[in-house]
């Protein structure tokens, strides 16, 4: 996947979801290459916090890659959705290795999904 592909993905996401899109980019070879980050988030996070977000993206991409190292009856994964306290991260495997596109979304994008995940966590841990 090229940066041009990631930029096209960012445009598409912004057209579809507007301000609900937090960030879009690529994870390649353990490095994050952002193509879009919402202005308020650029101002909100310190450099250290941005590094932490990049670390989370690379670790999550590695976890998704681990799922793709073997075939199950479910088949090859097409994407992974990870729910964090403040955002969702959608990872889409691209190419070989651990390369993935990422889309960070506000949790409000899917309040129903958020509520269901919370109920599952409550069920497991209460």
CB of 114 closer than 8 Å to CB of 83 = yes
The band of 30, judged by pLDDT with boundaries at 50, 70 and 90, is confident
Average pLDDT of the residues in 48-67: 68
Q: Which of 9-13, 55-59, 80-84 has the lowest mean pLDDT?
A: 55-59
Average pLDDT of the residues in 26-37: 85
What is the value of pTM for the model shown?
A: 0.78
pLDDT of residue 68: 58
CB of 104 closer than 8 Å to CB of 87 = yes
CB of 23 closer than 8 Å to CB of 104 = yes
Mean pLDDT computed over every residue of the chain: 80
pLDDT at 10 over 90: yes
The band of 102, judged by pLDDT with boundaries at 50, 70 and 90, is confident
Identify which has the larger pLDDT, 75 or 103: 103
DSSP structural state of residue 19: G
pLDDT at 69 over 60: no
Average pLDDT of the residues in 66-70: 57
Share of the chain above pLDDT 70, in %: 79
């Amino acid at each position: 996947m090229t940066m041009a592909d990631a930029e096209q993905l960012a445009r598409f996401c912004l057209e579809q979801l507007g301000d609900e899109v937090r960030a879009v980019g690529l994870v390649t070879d353990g490095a994050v290459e952002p193509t879009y980050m919402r202005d308020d988030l650029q101002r909100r996070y310190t450099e250290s916090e941005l590094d932490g977000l990049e670390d989370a993206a690379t670790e999550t991409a590695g976890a998704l890659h681990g799922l793709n190292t073997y075939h199950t009856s479910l088949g090859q994964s097409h994407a992974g959705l990870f729910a964090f306290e403040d955002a969702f991260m959608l990872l889409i495997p691209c190419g070989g290795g651990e390369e993935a596109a990422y889309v960070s979304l506000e949790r409000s994008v899917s309040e129903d999904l958020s509520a269901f995940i919370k109920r599952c966590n409550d069920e497991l841990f209460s």
